[in-house]
């Protein structure tokens, strides 16, 4: 007899490619930067790079967040594709990034100097995307610091140490009015760069939701993670042409009268506060009554038997919710449900 089977995260590489195509079609002529932080939102970075390369149109740029992730992307995607790392990093990481042809997002004066020093030390011109803070206050030069930053960058560009490849920012996506104001601040910042003689080809401001719904805010590049993995926004509609690529599947381990025990629990990353959620079976949806460490109890259905597969979240074929619907129950976002799935849960790719 097999030991009790644990849950499995089934991931469709073909669906990732289809989602990428749907996103590319929607945002054109803006180009896709596929964001891959947090191990590609829990889906597995290397496998998702491979899957992205099967899309009919190439992904223009990959977003790695930090340098280690970006180096993993570079190792998988090969030379040629653009890879963007925007977390401020130490001098060794910056040198490693330059040696692997990684574009760097720069949003503070101290980091700008570190990048210029690394370029001068390695003899490799740094491709820099300068970040303007347009209201989120997370990182990025403030409006009053911008002119000085631009001067420093254009000087370094003339000295051959930097190529000013882009200007970027991040939207709050709290309200359209705030995002409009951020877009105006962004346009002003780009003007300052152009007046100083800079000619950045990559302008990027929007992530999934604004890239999809606010075409007037799209730059030449759109940084998109969630919608490519088929994760819609909390309280937002399904995204036409896309589907969730991941299904969390577990199995019936016991049937006790009206209770059916499933072999997955909060140790696998299912928040115990999701009691009441629907899960999918081959006979349709049923309800979760209780979530323990390694098991959960769901309401029985006709013919339930040990070994039957149950879908805890997925694309909805068996009546299960998508990850975002689970997230909405506990006031978070679908990304959190995916990234919480324990690394102990094997990922199976098809
Ligand atoms: C995570 C992230 C994105 C992607 O956001 P999604 O909503 O998943 O598309 C874009 N830009 C930055 C700076 C991010 O950190």
Give the Å distance between the CA of 59 and the centre of ligand 1: 16
pLDDT number for residue 2: 46
Please tell me the predicted confidence (pLDDT) of residue 4: 56
Averaged pLDDT for residues 174-199: 95
Would you say the CB of residue 224 lies under 6 angstroms from ligand 1?
A: yes
Q: Do the beta carbons of residue 270 and residue 296 sit within 8 Å?
A: yes
Q: In this model, does residue 1 exceed pLDDT 90? A: no
Q: Ligand 1 pocket: which of 186, 225, 244 to mutate (most atoms <8 Å of CB)?
A: 225
Q: Is 131 in the pocket of ligand 1 (CB under 6 A)?
A: no
Mean pLDDT of the chain, nearest integer: 96
Is it the case that residue 338 has pLDDT exceeding 60? yes
* Ligand 1 in reach of 223 Cβ (< 6 A): yes
pTM over 0.75: yes
For 257, the enclosing helix (H) or strand (E) is: none
Which ligand 1 atom lies nearest to the CA of residue 86? 13
Q: What is the CA radius of gyration of the chain?
A: 23
User: Do the Cβ atoms of 203 and 223 come closer than 8 Å?
Assistant: no
Closest CA to 209 of 233, 235, 230: 233
Structure token pair of residue 161: 């140490």
Question: In this model, does residue 270 exceed pLDDT 60?
Answer: yes
Cβ-based burial of 62 (10 A; exposed 0-12, middle 13-18, buried ≥19): buried
Tokens 């094997």, located at residue:
346
More reliable by pLDDT, 225 or 344: 225
Q: Hey, which bits of the chain come out as E strands?
A: 8-11, 31-35, 61-65, 82-85, 103-106, 126-131, 162-168, 202-204, 221-224, 246-256, 259-262, 278-281, 284-291, 296-299, 309-313, 347-349
- Residue 291 above 90 pLDDT? yes
Give dist(CA 64, CA 68) in Å, integer.
8
Question: Ligand 1 in contact with 225 (CB < 6 A)?
Answer: yes
Instruction: Determine the pLDDT at residue 46.
Output: 98
Q: Which of 230, 197, 281 is nearest to 19 (CA)?
A: 230
pLDDT at residue number 136: 83
Confidence grade of residue 325 (pLDDT, cut at 50, 70, 90): very high
Comparing 159 with 172, the larger pLDDT belongs to 159
Distance 268 CA to ligand 1 centre (A): 25
pLDDT of 350 = 96
Tell whether the model's pLDDT for residue 3 goes beyond 80.
no
Between strands 221-224 and 31-35, the pairing is: parallel
pLDDT, tens digit (0-9, with 9 covering 90-100), for 44-93:
999 999 999 999 999 999 999 999 999 999 999 999 899 999 999 999 99
């Amino acid at each position: 007899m097999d030991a009790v089977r644990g849950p499995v995260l089934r991931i469709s590489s073909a669906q990732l490619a289809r989602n990428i195509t749907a996103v590319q079609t929607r945002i054109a002529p803006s180009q896709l930067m596929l964001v891959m932080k947090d191990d590609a939102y829990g889906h597995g970075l290397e496998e998702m790079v491979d899957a992205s390369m099967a899309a009919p149109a190439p992904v223009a740029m990959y977003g790695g967040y930090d340098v280690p992730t970006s180096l993993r992307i570079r190792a998988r995607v090969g030379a040629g594709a653009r890879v963007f790392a925007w977390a401020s990093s130490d001098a060794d990481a910056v040198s490693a990034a330059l040696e692997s042809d990684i574009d760097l997002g720069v949003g503070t004066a101290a980091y700008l100097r570190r990048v210029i020093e690394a370029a001068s030390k390695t003899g490799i011109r740094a491709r820099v995307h300068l970040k303007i803070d347009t209201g989120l206050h997370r990182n990025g030069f403030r409006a009053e610091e911008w002119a000085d930053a631009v001067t420093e960058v254009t000087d370094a560009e003339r000295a051959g140490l930097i190529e000013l490849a882009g200007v970027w920012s991040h939207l709050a996506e709290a309200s359209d009015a705030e995002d409009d104001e951020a877009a105006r601040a962004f346009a002003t910042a780009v003007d300052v760069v152009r007046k100083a003689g800079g000619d950045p080809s990559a302008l990027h401001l929007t992530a999934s939701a604004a890239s999809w719904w606010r075409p007037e805010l799209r730059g030449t590049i759109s940084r998109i993670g969630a919608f490519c993995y088929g994760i819609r926004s909390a309280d937002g509609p399904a995204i036409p042409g896309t589907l969730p690529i991941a299904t969390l599947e577990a199995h019936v381990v016991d049937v006790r009268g009206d209770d059916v025990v499933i072999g997955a629990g909060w140790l696998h990353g299912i928040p115990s506060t999701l009691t009441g959620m629907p899960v999918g079976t081959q006979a349709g949806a049923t309800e979760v009554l209780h979530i323990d460490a390694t098991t959960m109890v769901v309401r029985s259905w006709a013919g339930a038997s040990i070994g039957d597969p149950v879908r805890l979240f997925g694309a909805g074929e068996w009546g299960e919710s998508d990850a975002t619907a689970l997230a909405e129950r506990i006031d978070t976002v679908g990304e959190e449900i995916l990234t919480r799935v324990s690394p102990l849960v094997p990922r199976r790719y098809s």
